[in-house]
Amino acid sequence: MLDRRDFLQQSGIVVSGFVANIPLLNSSKKSKMKQDKTFDVIIIGGSYSGLSAAMALGRALRKVQVIDSGNPCNKQTPHSHNFLTNDGKTPKEITSLSKQQVKQYPTVRLLDGFASKGTQTAEGFTIQTETGELFSSRKLIVATGIKDSMPPIPGFAESWGISVLHCPYCHGYEVRNQTTGILANGDAAFELASLISNWTKDLTIYTNGSSLLSDQQKAKLEKNQIGIVETEINRLDHTHGYINNIVFKNGSKIPVKAIYARLPFVQHSSIPQELGAELTQDGFIKIDNAHRTSVQGLYACGDNTTKMRTVANAVSMGTTAAFMVNKELIEEDF
C-alpha cells in the first residue's frame, strides 16, 4: 500500500519537507478493520458508563471494542429519573438510544458477550469471552457495575428496583408521602431513616430481628415519629413487584407502598481483581481522580467504583475515564 508521500510523488506532485506517513484508506483496509481484534481500548460493560466512554473515545478517533453481557443491575426498574433530558424514560429506552448514537462512530464496535478472562501483556491487555474469542488492546476500561446480594425473603428480589428501592434521589419523588419502610439495622437503618424522612413522614424501620440501634438513635427516631419493628419478616406481598404488605413470621402483616434497603454486593466481573486491581474497604474498585486503578493501563468507571448509583453519574464517570485514557495514549505516542 502506498503511503501519502509515494502517492503524491507518483501522481506528479513535487514533495518537499515532511509529509505525514498516513496510509490511504481503501475498501480492503476498511474490511480488515472490521475483522481485526486489536484495539486501542477495550471496554468491558456496555451500560451507561461503558457506552459513555465508548462515545467519547469514538469521537477521539480511537479504535474501541465494547463487550457487554446485557445484564444491568437496573433491568427491573420501570423508570429512570434525575438524568436531564431523559427523566422518566425506561432504562431500556436510554440504553437503546445510547447504542444507536455510539454506533454512528465507525471506530467503535459493540459485542454482545461475556468477558470471562483478562490477562495483562507487554502491549496492554488480552480479553477472552465466554465463547473463546480473544481481543487485545493497549488500555482497558471496566464499567461492569456490581451485583446486589438479595436477602432470602420471598418477594424481595421480584420487587427490587420497582418498589424495593436503593436511592431516594432516583425514585423518592414517585413514592413521596407514602407509607414507607426501611429494611436495615443499626447505623445503616438510622442513616437511611434520616435521609428518607425528607420524602415522607410515614416511615418505619424494619430490623428483621433484634434492633442494633443505640439508645441515642432510638430517641432521635422517636422524636421524628419513626417507628421500629423488630419482628422477623416472612415475605413481601406484591403485585408484579409493587409491594402491598410486609408479612411477618408470626402471621401479622403491615401495609406498605415502598421499602428502602442497602444491600451487600459483589463486583459483577472478577477480571479487575484477577488483574490485581485494589478494592476499597467497601468493596468498590479503587480509582484515582483520573479513574486509574492500581494496575497500569486499567481504568474503571460507574457503579463498580462508587456508592453514587445514578445514571447521570455513570455517564459522567464514563466520559471522564475516556478523556483520561485518550490523554494517556496521546502522551505515550507523541
Average pLDDT, the chain: 91
Give the list of residues 6+ apart from residue 225 with CB closer than 8 angstroms, or none.
Answer: 201
Q: Residue 95 has which C-alpha cell?
A: 440504553
Instruction: Give the position of cell 507523541.
Output: 334
Q: What architecture is the 156-261 domain classified under in CATH? A: 3-Layer(bba) Sandwich (3.50)
Rg value, the chain, Cα: 25
The reported pLDDT for the residue numbered 71 is 85
Q: How confident is the model at residue 10 (pLDDT cuts 50, 70, 90)?
A: low
Residue 31 has pLDDT above 80, yes or no: no
Strand order in the sheet with 253-255: 233-239, 242-248, 253-255
- Give CATH 3.50.50.60 domain extents, the chain: 31-148+265-333, 156-261
pLDDT digits (tens, 9 = 90+) for 196-220: 999 999 999 999 999 999 999 999 9
How many angstroms separate the Cα of 327 from the Cα of each of 139, 179, 286? Answer: 11, 50, 20
Please give the class, per CATH, of domain 31-148+265-333: alpha beta
Beta strands in the chain (DSSP E): 38-44, 64-68, 108-112, 115-120, 125-129, 134-142, 146-148, 164-165, 180-183, 203-206, 227-229, 233-239, 242-248, 253-255, 258-261, 265-267, 298-300
Distance CA 192, CA 160 (A): 17
Which among 6-20, 24-38, 276-290 has the top mean pLDDT? 276-290
As given in the structure block, the three cell numbers for residue 133 are: 474469542
Task: Please state the φ and ψ torsions of residue 26, each to the nearest 5 degrees.
Answer: -135, 180
Among candidates 165, 193, 132, which has minimal Cα distance to 258?
A: 165
Helices 215-223 and 186-196, interaxial angle, to 10°?
20
Averaged over 242-247, what is the pLDDT?
98
**Measured between alpha carbons, how far is 171 from 165 in angstroms, rounded to an integer?**
7
Please write the tens of the pLDDT for every residue from 250-279: 999 999 999 999 999 999 999 999 999 999
Segment 324-333 shows an average pLDDT of 98
> Residue 173: which pLDDT band, with cuts at 50, 70 and 90?
very high
- This prediction has a pTM of 0.87
